[in-house]
Amino acid sequence: MSVPAAPALTFLRARRRAHRSPQQRSDRFTGLYTLGLYAAIGAWIGFHVLRQSPARGGSADWLTGGGLARAGTAALLLGLLATVRYATWQGPVVFSEPDIHFLLGAPLPRAELVRGRLARGLLLGGGLGALLGLSAFVLLEAELGAAAWPLLAAALLGPAVFGVLATALGWMVESSAGRTRALLRASPLLLAAAVAAGLGGGAAASLAPWSGPWGWALGPLLAAAGGHDPAWPIQAGLLAAVTLAAVLAGWREAGSITVEQLDRRAGIRTGLAANLFTADLRGAALLRRQAVLGLVGTRRLRLRHPRRRWLALPWRDALSLMRTPGRAGWALVLCGGGALGVAAAPDRKVLAAAAIVAAYLGAAQLLEPLRGEADQPDASRMLPWRWGDMVLLHTVTPVVALTVIGLLVTALAAALGLLAGTAVGMALGACPLVAAALVWSAAIPSQRGRLGPDQLMTASLMGEVGGPVYLLRWAATGPLLALVVLFPPVLMLQGAAVGPPPRAQAAITNAVFFLVVALAVEVAWLRSRHPPA
């Protein structure tokens, strides 16, 4: 006894539209218009900047000599991973909580309700793919100067169809709890495949167009960009066939998803909207993490508690890290990536600064227990330490963990031939100091607590420019602090690298001295803190 969905949906749309004020409609139009305008202007400026930059024969050679195949494959694989991971907690079909209650609780055909949203999701996926392809076209056209129309067609169509395929696969993940769990477990493999595709040599470049749908989507682009890929029509055909099959399979499965899965996603979306409305990005990230943990289950790892009182908080933080190993993984990726980048190009100042910020973000991943403490400072009154001492105790485990990560990355850099001789010893010795600098820099903003109504009110009163700048300052304090502490020693060492040995020795001494003084200031400041209001 199903009731046709169309009358209820038409009524709902009409009534909601009627309640939208002219101001809301105007805001929506202005937003879309502004977005489109900026995208067009950005693409035009980007194209001309790239085209008018000095001759880039090296870049063009790299792109046509396999770089495009490797980078493109890695980018599309990462895009696919992001889409299907997104589907584990949201996905292309998400209803609101009232929709769940009123529409899915009524005898309306579920498949019909789902298909409307699925169609929208597929269109959006194709649109995002086309946007990615448009960026690639701007870059390639400026660098290679190839025939524009074939390149544009290949750059738009391949990624657009791949976007539709990724969305259809996302829906298949969303509609099955078993597939969701399997994907969460298999994600590291997909990530490893993307990294291997990106870093691989000539063999990876020649295999890329046949490595799967991501390669098939790239084939026509490689051919249009002047690369050698005569089989691109077959690849395009394969991509179209697989995409059609995935869309049809997803369409057929539309009615199979349970209300429970849709309700879970609706609840997450409500929480997410509330967090983003109050600029609480961390709250949004925690919500996402909680949603994923709810699916794969919390790891019930045990760690024997210590006997010494001062080790209680480091023990608690170690437990937290063991139960959310993703945090350590991100710290490894961000710190390791930054450190390897600096080791590969030690004379680049901008790269060094970017590496410090990336490493800071990695260190901040390890300080979640401290941020949790700052969220509810009253709870910390149960503990026998002053706030400042407690903050320092919360940094013990992160400093140790980050030092271990640093030692591992140094060993990897030495194995890859990026570090040699005394530089290896110096890097190993610097690990604890740099780890402490990063963690303590991250500890300072970590204890400010949630962004409260008073801060939001202040931001609101400061207007369209002042408000966002005020909020940005909240997020920027930590990375800036890390730069203040670590960038001067890096500059000293870079300057000394081109000078005579006595000057290098003096620079090392100066850098270490600067770092030790900066760390002492940070510790003194952290110890003097009081609980957030």
SS3 sequence of 61-109: HHHHHHHHHHHHHHHHHHHHHHHHHHCCCCCCCCCCHHHHHHCCCCCCC
Number of chain positions touching another protein (CB under 8 A):
30
Residue selected from 45, 260, 299, 306 as contacting another protein according to rule CB under 8 A: 260
Under rule CB under 8 A, residue 15 binds another protein = yes
Q: How far is the CB of 7 from another protein (least distance, A)?
A: 5
| Half-sphere exposure for 315 (CA within 13 Å, toward CB) | 11
Give the x/- contact pattern for another protein in 102-141, rule: CB under 8 A. xx-xxxxx--------------------------------
| Dihedral sign for Cα atoms in the order 346, 347, 349, 351 | negative
Contact 373, 380 (CB under 8 A): yes
Among 26, 30, 290, 298, indicate the residue that binds another protein (CB under 8 A).
298
Check residue 20 and give left, alpha or beta (phi > 0: left; psi -120 to 50: alpha). Answer: beta
| Options 49-57, 91-99, 188-196, 497-505: segment touching another protein (CB under 8 A) | 91-99
Does 190 contact another protein by CB under 8 A? Answer: no
Instruction: Work out whether 467 is an interface residue with another protein (CB under 8 A).
Output: no
Q: Is 292 in the site for another protein (CB under 8 A)?
A: no
Which residue reads 């298949």 in tokens? 172
| Min separation Cβ 23 and another protein, Å | 14
Task: Pick the closer one to another protein by CB: 268 or 433.
Answer: 268
User: Cβ of residue 233: shortest distance to another protein, in angstroms?
Assistant: 46
Helices (H), 258-300: 259-277, 281-296
Within a 10 A sphere around the Cβ of 336, how many other Cβ atoms? 20
Query: Would you give the binding string for another protein spanning residues 374-393, x where CB under 8 A is met?
Result: --------------------
Instruction: Identify which range of 92-100, 246-254, 428-436, 476-484 contacts another protein by CB under 8 A.
Output: 92-100
Chain-centroid distance of CA 3 in Å reads 43
Maximum CA extent, the chain: 89
How far apart are the two ends of the chain, measured CA to CA in Å? 58
Q: Of 22, 57, 201, 297, which lies in the binding site for another protein, with binding defined by CB under 8 A? A: 297
Phi and psi, residue 304, nearest 5°: -60, 130
- The smaller minimum CB distance to another protein, of residues 62 and 102, is found at 102
Which residues would be at the binding site for another protein (CB under 8 A)?
1-4, 7-8, 11-12, 15-16, 19-20, 96-98, 100-103, 105-109, 258-260, 263, 297-298
